[in-house]
Every structure is written in structure tokens, then in C-alpha cells.
Amino acid sequence: MPEGNIIHRIARIHRRWLVGRRFTADSPQGRFSTEARRLSGRTLEGVDAHGKHLLYLFEGGVRLHIHLGLFGHMRHFRSGAPPPSPACRLRLASPHAAFHLAGPQACELLSSEAEATLRSRLGEDPLRPDASPARAFEALRRGRAPLATALLDQERISGVGNILRAEALFLARLPPLRPASELRLADFERLWEALRLLMEDAARDGRIVVPHAPPAPWETPGKRREDRFCVYDREGQPCPRCATPISRLTLASRGLFFCPGCQDTGSAGKPARRPRAVPVERTRAPRARSRA
């Protein structure tokens, strides 16, 4: 499922390419035909992102909500769009831009009241200018669920997925199994800043590159640079900070990656074990130029 950084990147692309255009709309798959007729002939006036949700405002106050979920994908074209696939739920077409959506978890028209209700259920989004770290701190500390579990609750902090939680907890040096209710303000501030910077960079560059992450084994000179992680999907490999092998455990049916040397996996009352110091490259990997 795309994490919040990808959704915000899509919203930025669609604001640049699609907003201001009048579209004809249809549903080649047939499951969205009635709603597509309401969209057809209207100008797209705005695109917004909140966590993992995309919200489109069309002329006349018609609101489209999209959640890609695990299997949803979208394609956008400047011109000369190919025929849609039979699975295409929604097609928006204009002379100079087109949009194809298939397999979303949610594709629906919402009233203004329904949109407000949806937004009220979502937690603070680190990429939104109106995000409140204070509200996010209070929401994250509700209950004694492990911090790593609470971070995936979209009603606490919106947009965080499995990759972002692992890397942000690592950067903030926080124990993933610490009860969320024991999170201290100073620790939260490090965590929030790590999330915000990771997501901002990834939304701009189209990939996640964690500071001081080792080169990905599949990187080849001259080819497009890939994501680079410190702990995610690196089980058994050395931590780039202390050389302790990265661990993986299953938590709420999701793989959780962490460094047992840098991140004590117990509660807040247990001090973290001092890691063995190793040389670390201090220069950040160069960012790829955005192709959006």
C-alpha cells in the first residue's frame, strides 16, 4: 500500500497536470458508471492529500475520494493516452491529459459532510501544513499498544506505513516495543521530525533515502537510483550505525525491522545498551532529480 509520501507526490503531480482541465469521465469496468456521469463535463478545481487518501474537487462542488489500498494503481498521461484496461474503474479524459484508475480500495463521490467526517477520523499528517504535533503526541500516547503498532494506526498519525515507521524509529533511536503511553515529549519530537523529513524528501524525489543508509545491493552505476534503508528489509545485515545485525519480528501480522543495539526493544524503564562505535559515512546520498 502506498505510504503518505507517495500519495502527496501524486497529489502534487495531479495539481500540476490535471487541475484546470475539463474532463469527460467513464468507467470501462462498469462499477463506477453512475458516478462517472456526474463527473463528466466538469472542470477539476483542486486536489488534496491527507495521509493515504486523495480528495479531488470538481466544478459544482462534486467531491471524489480515492484510497488505493493494496492493489490500486493509477496512470496519468499528458496526451495520447492508450485504451484503458478492462479493470479500469475510472477514466478521466481531456485533449491534453488523461487519468486511468484501477483496483482502488475506495473510489466514491462524497458530500461535503461525508468528506468532513472522513477527515475527522484521520490523524495528523506530517506533510500537511495544518498538522499539529501537539495533537499527534497526545493521540500517539493513547493506550499501551507498542509504539510500532500505534504508528500504523491512521487515526493517530496519518500516512505512516511499514517502511516509514521502521526507519523513523531507527533515526529517533526509539524502542519499537515501548508502550506508546510511555513516550516522552523529547522522544516524540525526534520521531516527528524524522517522519516529516523522510516523507518530505520522498514526496519530492519519488524514493526513500534514509541518511547514512548503505548502498542498495541492486544499485548499478548509470541506472535509476533506488530506495535506501537502514533497517527495513535488512534482517541479519549490519546496522550502519553500530554494526549489530538487524532483527525482524512479526507484530500485528507485519514485519518489524529494528536494530537491537541502537534500539532497546523493552519498555521506557530499561536503558538502551550502548552500541559499539564504528565509522559511519557522514555525507548524505545525493538525491535523484524528480521526474514529475
254 is an active site residue:
yes
Per annotation, catalytic residue among 9, 42, 52, 156: 52
211 is an active site residue:
no
204 is an active site residue:
no
DSSP the chain: ---HHHHHHHHHHHHHHTTT-EEEEE-TTSTTHHHHHHHTTEEEEEEEEETTEEEEEETTTEEEEEE-TTT-EEEEESS-PPPPPTTEEEEEE-SS-EEEEES-SEEEEE-HHHHHHHHHHS-B-TTSTT--HHHHHHHHTSSSSBHHHHTT-TTTBSS--HHHHHHHHHHTT--TTSBGGG--HHHHHHHHHHHHHHHHHHHHHSS-B-TTPPPPTT--TTSPP--B-SSTT-TTSBPTTT-PBPEEEEETTEEEEE-TTTS--S-TTSPPPPPPP-----SPPPPPPP--
Per annotation, catalytic residue among 3, 35, 115, 167: 3
3 is an active site residue:
yes
Per annotation, catalytic residue among 128, 204, 254, 260: 254
Q: Which residues are catalytic?
A: 2-3, 52, 254
